[in-house]
Homo-oligomer: A and B are copies of this chain.
Amino acid sequence: MARKALYSVEEVLSNAIQVFLEHGYNGAVMDEIIARTDFNRRGFYMEFGSKQAFLYRVLEHYIKTHLDPIFVHLEQNAGLPSIHAFFKDYIQLVKGRGCLLVNIVTEMGFDDEPVRDIGRHHLDRLEIGFIGCLEKGLEQHQVKSGLNIEATALQLCNYVQGFAVTAILAGQTDELDLATNALLEPLAA
């Protein structure tokens, strides 16, 4: 039999995240993608078919490996501490880099419906997660009583998108960490 493939799809996708983060979709050229993913052209097109199909796979992988583990905080629903933990990890993720999903949505969302759908789904999930945590926080008297949960969840969703943009501008400063504290403190009971 023939030799086995040496590359790991997982690893290729992980390496590609960084390239798309740096240059966006249209700015990332195949030569760099091939080089930095430690892949080879033939294998690339056999595995993924096209640059665009590849992007969708990278996005899916980014969500699974980078965003999902952060969402877990919200989904395990421990009230306000979950929200704090979520933001702490999210900021760590986007600091000096931005968020791949947000970057791709702003670059291609107008033209690309699948990308818009993924973005919307992510936003819905975020909102639901926050609502759950705020309800729990209210139950357990962690958050100010009388808090408008729907409006607050919306507010937190906006912080997330806003951080994704600010993270690119703020570089490696801890501007965002300070902001989180300032933003979440008013919620506490």
Contacts and interface: CB of A to CB of B under 8 A. Distances in A.
A158 interface: yes
A168 B98 contact: no
A182 interface: yes
A102 interface: yes
Report how many copies the assembly holds.
2
Interface of A is mostly: helix
Interface string A150-189: 1100110111111111101100000000010011011000
Given A151-B182, A186-B148, A168 B106 contact: yes
Contacts of A38: none
Nearest to A151: B182
Going nearest first, the 10 A-B pairs with the smallest beta carbon separation are A158-B162, A26-B26, A151-B182, A161-B162, A161-B165, A162-B162, A109-B168, A106-B106, A24-B107, A103-B106
Interface of A: 21-27, 97-98, 102-103, 105-111, 116, 119-120, 123, 148, 150-151, 154-155, 157-166, 168-169, 179, 182-183, 185-186
